[in-house]
Amino acid sequence: MKSKKVNLAVLVSGSGSNLVALIDAVKSGVIADGQISLVVSNKEDVYALQRAENAGVKAISIKRSGFSSDEEFDKKLVEKLREYKIELVLLAGYMRILTAPVLEAYRDRILNIHPSLLPEFGGLGMYGMRVHEAVIKAGVPVSGCTVHIVNEHVDGGPILAQAEVSILPGDTPASLAAKILREEHRLYPSTVQKFITGFDI
């Protein structure tokens, strides 16, 4: 048990189902050594922001349109993360590719969950339902989810944990997505806790 809880930020772009799983995991003690100190969305009016506020977590939005470049946007993001003394950044359905300012400020301290068994079905353009459609089309027998460290290569950082699900003959992209999401909600929080205890933050 760490002497103080690690400050976590969760970056979101959508409804925030993984955010809720992380919030619940902090409350239940699955994530015993971390606390969610900030939720940031690159979009206004997404449900994830409301869910954060409902849970008593500080939630803000920063719109990309207000900045001249992705790097300027990410500089502002880093500024906010530092303002809230964030030590570990968690991506949860964050639909932006991080650039140098964030990657350098939080080197090896950014985690993401991806809805496939990386390195398969990852990389640029592979997100959300596109992943599950590609998996079903490929006819593979299993899929799953992967928690990995974020670096300059999209979905290419070191893998921390994976969970598998079987693909049944009647599965559709939507039914596969639902099965994998259940595993994401279990795998991500437990991996975050293991990462915190094994990492000298």
Task: State the Cα–Cα distance between residues 67 and 123, nearest whole angstrom.
Answer: 25
* Longest CA pairwise span in the chain (Å): 50
The per-residue pLDDT for 201 is 42
Q: Indicate the burial class of 180 (C-beta count within 10 angstroms; 0-12, 13-18, 19 or more).
A: buried
High-pLDDT (> 70) share of the chain, %:
97
The per-residue pLDDT for 93 is 94
Task: State the Cα–Cα distance between residues 10 and 16, nearest whole angstrom.
Answer: 10
High-pLDDT (> 90) share of the chain, %:
96
Is beta strand 34-41 parallel, antiparallel or unpaired with respect to 59-61?
parallel
Domain residue extents for the chain: 6-198
Write the CATH number of the domain with boundaries 6-198: 3.40.50.170
CB distance 57 to 27 below 8 Å: no
Task: State the Cα–Cα distance between residues 166 and 183, nearest whole angstrom.
Answer: 12
Per the model's pLDDT, the better-predicted residue between 85 and 2 turns out to be 85
80 backbone φψ class: left, alpha, beta (φ>0; ψ -120 to 50): alpha
Average pLDDT over residues 144-165: 97
Determine which one of 114, 132, 148, 185 is catalytic: 114
185 is catalytic: no
Task: State the Cα–Cα distance between residues 62 and 114, nearest whole angstrom.
Answer: 23
The per-residue pLDDT for 200 is 53
Q: How confident is the model at residue 1 (pLDDT cuts 50, 70, 90)?
A: low
Inform me whether the pLDDT recorded for 23 exceeds 50. yes
Average pLDDT over residues 22-44: 97
